[in-house]
A and B are shown apart, each in its own frame.
Chain A
């Protein structure tokens, strides 16, 4: 009898924890270290309280996140259950069968669950960008376009008026006037850190509005066009004359820090940053004004992006993962953050109801501007001339990760002065040509 008890105890010790945990799995979630995701991680204990499902977060900077999750799905490691991906990744990840369609899971919801979740409340442009062949593969956690932030107090002191839809030339003039290096004040903060999700995100909107493009309709690279050259020259000029020093080490996080610490008079970046700039620990709270993405030839220059949650096809915990997805993107989650962190900090750009909420509208003076920027973003026709790809701040092909990275490095080399414009453009043209040929796009 004693031996039997010892044996049972041993079996329980060895097999106990997994056996007890059956039905209540631990989800491994790969996510980006942006402020909204950090808030989600902080409040995720509520989800575990409600469901008993434990969460293990892997939080990484944007560039590293992309590598880790692509490596995970592409090489079949299957380490993560839930991955944070963007509108760029979703279509080809779906085509590669790396993530699961959410349609069967949505269909499996009870009527009460479906009503509470209210899937039709998700903003149509974002939902469309996260779908492939009519099936939704990811749910937006927050959506964004890009806009220009400016310091109302500094503008008033300098007697400058910001137009609601400025041109890049106007932005340059204003930035020059507001640059005071001796006071540690820069006219504008712009991303210069190399990376397709870093400097290229901002710079791509300049490429488009200057009338340039990456490829023509036959997939011939277009880095030698006069418009492309003008865009490169302008970006270097504005950063050199009125931007932050050491621009090639300034990514999203550094630019956000420059703006929120009061060192920059303007910042052109993601609309989602408005919540952080109006947060309690921001030095510029209440001093920020908003304007549409600056333009040159093409209007509606702002990008369209949504950091979204998807379920890896290899996940063994799909039901639990779907529960987490629908919790983190629900109206209840938005209410939870609004009431506990502040209505200005709720994840923006995902639900129509957020923009109808009087509490959000009262707290977030940027709400209307954000909604308009997202609705107006030209995701399907991003350039002046027709192009064979979609996406404003990227080219919707899988190879863009590598190509965008190479061009981003060339841009940084040009800005830093270690490469001439012609050399940088020639290298970018060669990289784009190689991708077009090797990927089978150029016939």
Chain B
């Protein structure tokens, strides 16, 4: 899970490998904040798979690639 300069750099890095999913840095930040914001809170309890899936869906990260199960 890396940051890249551009689509061209991703394609070159992948070579013959099957591509995964690419999102913008802005979407990544939205995702990271939704996913991790409570991680060191004293009230933290484990997210259920359904809660995590809902985070992905709320951000438009849908489709087979983003299915947690």
Q: Do these two chains really belong together in a complex?
A: no
A residues near B (Cβ < 8 Å) are none
